Amino acid sequence: MTTTAPPGPASATTRPRASTPRRLRAPAAFLLGAVLLLGAAPLALPDSRLNLLAKYLCYAIVAVGVSLAWGRGGLLVLGQGVFFGLGGYAMAMHLKLADAATAGERLPDFMLLYGSSDTLPWWWQPFADPAFALAMTVLLPMTVAGLLGFLVFRRRVKGAYFAILSQALAAALSIWLVGQQATTGGTNGLTGIQGFFGYDLADPVNQRMVYFVIAVALLLLMAAARQLFVSRYGELLVAVRDSEERVRFLGYDPANVKLVAYVVAAGMAGLAGALFVPAVGIISPALIGIVPSIGFVIGAAVGGRASLVGAVLGAVAVAWAQSTLSDAFPAAWTYLQGLLFVLVVGFLPGGLASLGALRRTRRRAPASVRAAAPTTSAVATASTKETA
């Protein structure tokens, strides 16, 4: 008489084998991204294209934060241009002061041209310290986001009202910067940046160094965001997105959960703006207003807001399309951008990253007719885990 092993231990031993490919998927994707960004791209692309890719990767860093706040937390952050601009201006202010010191001037060049005083404004003076400037590129956006989020989330403002409020903040900052020509460069912004912590940005070697810094920052932030996604906090953030009242009844404060995601996303946007300045050599109000803020969200939506890889690839693709199509159709690109956002949100909420899950769901549909409700729940759970 033969005996068979009980199903419990057998199934327990087979689970790790089934989950091993899924556990290895994220490290494999990270390794592939590192090879492409740090190896293939610098070897295959000329300097001009590599500089353009560095600009796109800055937008991708913003998309990582958007994926966290919107994809996981359900916060439609239409004002990321504010934090992108705060980080960018903090970095540009230091670099302009360093360029002026190298040239033997007390003031940046635009202040000599437009300023009415021969003294440096008091709020510019701390940015002469490189450590202070680097800290402010991240801490200043996070502080502003923390104050705004504390006021908004405590009053349970959400949905379209939160999106409109964040857009109004982007418009207000852009208008304020335009009106401060003597201290912020006005409409032109801070331009003509020549150095980056002692390195001449006109040197192609130094430009490649800036690209590598941006690429490494993107990879590290994606790894950190991935850990947040799979952590207990990430699960709590998804729970707040799906059923905020239920989470409140369980004893958690949804305002604090959303505030953390919003502040972290703001810090990522600020770092992206700081890295954007040496990559492009300019920061201006036109880069941080309502239209750029919507562009950040569109990139994440097209690729897949709940997927880190999808959000990054979508941001790069939309930025490339903007650089290409805006030259060919300068008057129509803004409308095309808005139409793309509406189509993706309305007909493909999960973005291009959800196509694989949708295909597998259709394949399993005939077998799931007998138990529609449980299968639907299982498919939704599997789709959420995969897009992580």
User: Tell me: the pLDDT tens digits for 355-388?
Assistant: 777 776 777 655 544 444 444 344 444 444 444 4
CB 276 within 8 A of CB 283: yes
Tell me the average pLDDT across 21-34: 82
- Are 241 and 380 found together in one domain? no
- Are 325 and 361 found together in one domain? no
Q: Given this model, what pLDDT does residue 126 score?
A: 94
- Are 243 and 126 found together in one domain? yes
Tell me the average pLDDT across 192-209: 92
d(CA 296, CA 220) in angstroms, rounded, equals 20
d(CA 105, CA 99) in angstroms, rounded, equals 9
pLDDT confidence band for 116 (50 / 70 / 90): low
- Are 223 and 363 found together in one domain? no
DSSP 317-372: HHHHHHHHHHHH-TTTHHHHHHHHHHHHHHH-TT-GGGHHHHHHHHHHTGGGSTTH
Tell me the average pLDDT across 279-306: 90
Asked whether the predicted pLDDT for residue 33 surpasses 70, the reply is yes
Residue 307 to residues 226, 304, 380: CA-CA distances in angstroms?
A: 9, 5, 14
Of 233, 213, 56, 226, residue with least CA distance to 137: 213
- Mean confidence (pLDDT) of the chain: 85
Tell me the average pLDDT across 171-191: 90
CB 54 within 8 A of CB 211: yes
Q: How many CB atoms lie within 10 A of CB 168?
A: 13
- Are 284 and 299 found together in one domain? yes
Asked whether the predicted pLDDT for residue 71 surpasses 80, the reply is yes
Residues pairing with 200 in the sheet: 195
Residue keyed to tokens 């562009």? 295
pLDDT confidence band for 16 (50 / 70 / 90): very low
Judged by average pLDDT, the poorest of 92-106, 151-165, 367-381 is: 367-381
- Are 302 and 386 found together in one domain? no
Q: Given this model, what pLDDT does residue 21 score?
A: 67
Residue 387 placed within a domain? yes
Residue 81 placed within a domain? yes
- Are 366 and 245 found together in one domain? no
Q: How many domains does the chain have?
A: 2
d(CA 78, CA 73) in angstroms, rounded, equals 14
d(CA 194, CA 96) in angstroms, rounded, equals 8
pLDDT confidence band for 348 (50 / 70 / 90): confident
Query: What does the DSSP 8-state code read for residue 121?
Result: -
- Are 196 and 337 found together in one domain? yes
Residue 238 placed within a domain? yes
- Are 53 and 196 found together in one domain? yes
- Are 372 and 263 found together in one domain? no
List all residues 6 or more positions away from 110 whose beta carbon is below 8 Å from its beta carbon: 96, 185, 188, 190, 191
Asked whether the predicted pLDDT for residue 227 surpasses 90, the reply is yes
Q: Given this model, what pLDDT does residue 27 score?
A: 84
Residue 96 placed within a domain? yes
Tell me the average pLDDT across 129-141: 96
Q: Given this model, what pLDDT does residue 18 score?
A: 43
By residue range, what is the domain housing residue 385?
356-388
Residue 6 placed within a domain? no
With pLDDT > 90 as the criterion, what percentage of the chain qualifies? 55
